Amino acid sequence: MAHIVLTGGAGFLGSHMCDRLLAENHTVTVVDNLSTGRPVNLEHLAGESRFTLIQQDACAPLEVDGPVDYVMHLASPASPPDFARIPFECLRAGSFATHNMLEFALNRGARFLLASTSEIYGDPPAEFHPQTEAYAGNVSPIGRRSVYDEAKRYAETVTMTYQRECGLETRIVRIFNTYGPRMRPDDGRVVTNFICQALRGEPLTLYGEGKQTRSFCYVTDLVDGIYRLLLSDEPEPVNIGNPFEFTVRTLAEKILELTGGASELVTVPLPFEDDPKQRKPDISKARHVLGWEPKVSIDEGLGYTIDYLRDQILQTQ
Ligand code: UDP
């Protein structure tokens, strides 16, 4: 069984990744500064002898005992409101922290996996829809999202350079919109906003006209794809996401239906000028190379997420 060092393990995705790795009988050391991650996401692992949490920044020198087989760099703020709230943390997570964890992996003879993002495709025009891994992107280098998008693009570059120049084994997953339990209720993303608004009887806020599209993947499906990639021989980036695409307005209507809420839909100005108008992964490569595809339907996944957020809201009342 392997020892995996996982940055960002207290976050939404990271904590589900921990659960999967431990279920596969691995040993997990999480590195997390709890900037956007939350200890509550790991509370259920207290007393697990194969699990350790080191509370520190992924940019800081790291000391870990014993052999390390895999390094997974998931640490980064990832919700659009965080791009404005903590822009330097986004930049540092993609740049200095990626360098630091690559050096750590190289020194320890470990394979390195980078959590990249569909944001590296930016705002793709119609001829690059859905997005394949070959699409190079349409990203503003100076927009409000650029602190995340460009940092992740840089992270991919530096990862590929360690692979080419240092012979480090690396994997890159491009993660599309993901949702599920353990998202922060106040993270400002569309799924959490709409569900919390519906449960509280508040208006659902459509940014712009709500005509923009996204494709949402349930978290356990995503974690399965990342785990398969980690163990695979694929050295180049792989999209992991659910290709089922719909508009933000349709998402709002679906959430009202599933929560039984009666809130109205209101339109408000787009907070970021560089908000992508459409996004959908082409997952041919993941299907072919990893034998992976998502299994959880949007209704089922939203159901679990609604139950979780309902509990969270009740706890804070
Ligand atoms: N959005 C919205 N209302 C909200 C929050 C977000 O209409 O209350 C829109 C947002 O403008 C974007 C989409 O929903 O077009 C997805 O936003 P999210 O922040 O979840 O992730 P993104 O895909 O933009 O990174």
pLDDT in tens, the chain (317 residues): 999 999 999 999 999 999 999 999 999 999 999 999 999 999 999 999 999 999 999 999 999 999 999 999 999 999 999 999 999 999 999 999 999 999 999 999 999 999 999 999 999 999 999 999 999 999 999 999 999 999 999 999 999 999 999 999 999 999 999 999 999 999 999 999 999 999 999 999 999 999 999 999 999 999 999 999 999 999 999 999 999 999 999 999 999 999 999 999 999 999 888 899 999 999 999 999 999 999 999 999 999 999 999 999 998 87
Tokens read off for 12: 């939404």
Determine if the pTM surpasses 0.85. yes
CA of 54 to the centre of ligand 1 (A): 32
CB burial string 127-153: b at 16+ within 10 A, e below: ebbbbebebeeebeeebbbbbbbbbbb
179 in active site: no
111-117 and 204-207 beta bridge pairing: unpaired
Residue 180 — φ and ψ, nearest 5°? 155, 180
Q: How far is the CA of 33 from the centre of ligand 1 (A)?
A: 26
Rounded distance from Cα 145 to ligand 1 centre (Å): 12
d(CA 92, CA 100): 10
Determine contact, residues 72/130, Cβ cutoff 8 Å.
no
Cα gap 142→154, rounded to integer Å: 14
Q: Which residue lies with its CA nearest to atom 6 of ligand 1? A: 190
CA dihedral 95, 98, 102, 105 (to 10 degrees): 160
Residues with CB under 6 A from ligand 1: 80, 177, 189-190, 193, 205-207, 210, 212, 214, 248, 270, 275
Which residue in the list 70, 135, 148, 162 is annotated as catalytic?
A: 148
Query: Which CATH topology does 3-183+218-243+285-295 take?
Result: Rossmann fold (3.40.50)
